[in-house]
Amino acid sequence: MYEKDGNKYFVVDSHMHYWDASPENWVAGQENYAKGWIDCFHAYQSLGPPQTHWTIEHFYKCSEDDLMKDVFEDGYVDKAVFQPTYLKEWYTTGFNTTERNAALAEKHPGKFIVNGRWDPREGDAGIKQLEEDVARYDLKGVKMYTAEWREGSRGWTLQDPEAYRFLEKSQELGIKNIHVHKGPTIWPLDKDAFDVSDIDHAATDFPDLNFIVEHVGLPRIEDFCFMATQEPNVYAGLSVVIGGLMHARPKFFAKVMGELLFWVGEDKMTFGSDYSIWEPKWQVEGFVDWDYPGDEFSDYPRVNTDTKRKILGLNAAKLYGIEVPEECRLADAGKPAAPDDAALVEGGAKV
């Protein structure tokens, strides 16, 4: 929990990791990819405040104690959602598997929610694995990384018939939340890898599932917003938005937040630190203090304490059924949360 000026914020970090990208874990012959991946993440960290930068050695693989201190002790997080990214083609034991996350979660009861994953290219074996994972980890959410390489394939889309089979199975097994991360390499390469239209189709066809688009579809924020404004079950995951822009690019942060608040609305935006790319502490503190810097943003929806409460924790708490202490709930819980501006757009949008 974070407290500022007498206001209390329940913090759910809805997108964070516990990876092992150390050179010992790089697959022989794939070192360039393994190194390229973690170096790229490390460069992203440089967009945060200088005092929060880590050495590359620390960044390759942080310890359990580091994570617990950075996220919970110093970072104000009440509940953290582990999102796996397997990348077993490049990392021998995986980059960040559900198993690795769950081992840590078991040692700290009540602190974490462990999410799983699936990959439609794994077929029947993947379905069986998903069933086992749900039984073992009580999964309520999964993270999809559509650009993951697998046996010569360079990615997949949520629109693939095989993906629909996995979405149906997820729903049947009680999974509610589908976190999607678009990446830079996908089949077929002559199309835009960051296109989010497949999420649009899946969200329409699976209205009872929630689709949280991580990194708000970056670098296709506009496509994401046009889609999210029409799909009630599509959410904006703010990982990278706060971490990558708030400190390094404050003007663009304000514009991107303004657009998201307008098109998607404050009820469908969720905070994620993307640890250990960035630590949550400065992100939470900075976001609670944040407002638009100046008049040129005056036609974007306003932000207040309740906006920030929702984004930092209450929205994700709702998605995952996390109980929120009374002192952190909305000042006026009876009031409809949707901002007028967004409602106006939804009513009139022809996008």
> Which stretches of the chain bind other proteins, using CB under 8 A?
32-33, 36-37, 39-40, 43-44, 46-47, 152, 154, 183-185, 187-194, 218-222, 225-226, 244-245, 248-249, 251-252, 255-256, 259, 262-263, 345, 348-351
Rounded Cα gap, residues 78 and 315, in angstroms: 14
Least Å from the CB of residue 159 to other proteins: 16
Taking the least distance from each CB to other proteins, the nearer of 73 and 296 is 296
Closer by beta carbon to other proteins, 105 or else 245: 245
To the nearest whole angstrom, how small is the minimum distance from the Cβ of residue 167 to other proteins?
A: 25
Whether the CB-CB separation of 230 and 349 falls below 8 Å is answered with: yes
DSSP 302: P
270 DSSP β-pair partners = 237
Given a contact cutoff of 8 angstroms between Cβ atoms, the answer to whether 269 and 297 are in contact is no
Smallest distance from other proteins to CB 208, Å: 29
> How far apart are alpha carbons 6 and 301 in whole angstroms?
24
| Distance between CA atoms of residues 270 and 237, nearest Å | 5
| Nearest distance from C-beta of residue 233 to other proteins, angstroms | 21
Q: Is 113 helix (H, G, I), strand (E, B) or coil?
A: strand
Q: How far is the CB of 193 from other proteins (least distance, A)?
A: 6
| Nearest residue (CB) to other proteins, 38 versus 316 | 38
Which CB atom, from 245 or from 311, has the smaller least distance to other proteins?
245
| Cβ neighbours of residue 282 closer than 8 Å, sequence gap 6 or more | 48, 49, 52, 247
Q: Which CB, 252 or 325, lies closer to other proteins?
A: 252
Sign for the CA dihedral angle at 207, 209, 212, 218 comes to negative
